Amino acid sequence: MNTAIIVQNLKCGGCANTITTKLSEIDNILDININVEESKVSFNYKSEEAILAVKTKLKTLGYPSIDDDNNLVSKAKSFVSCATGKLSK
């Protein structure tokens, strides 16, 4: 099955690289696609638990879903995740 999550703080390819790398580590998540312009993270999943794992990982990285609080800590985490993604390209 396929779904998409609209996230906050997604600004560039560095962000997308980090998100792709980290979500690839989650079991039962496949075909990850990041659309920076739309702030959309789409992927295929095999269980509902996998969607929750993705949302949790995104929030941990500083990219909370549009429904979650986007506080200063999230913004700072996304800045670090972005920089990490740019360096690992």
pTM: 0.92
Residue 41 CA to residue 58 CA, distance in Å, equals 10
Average pLDDT over residues 4-19: 96
Share of the chain above pLDDT 70, in %: 99
pLDDT in tens, 30-69: 999 999 999 999 999 999 999 999 999 999 999 999 999 9
Q: What's the pLDDT at 83?
A: 84
> Residue 89 — pLDDT band, cuts 50, 70, 90?
low
Average pLDDT over residues 16-24: 97
Cα dihedral across residues 49, 53, 55, 56: positive or negative: positive
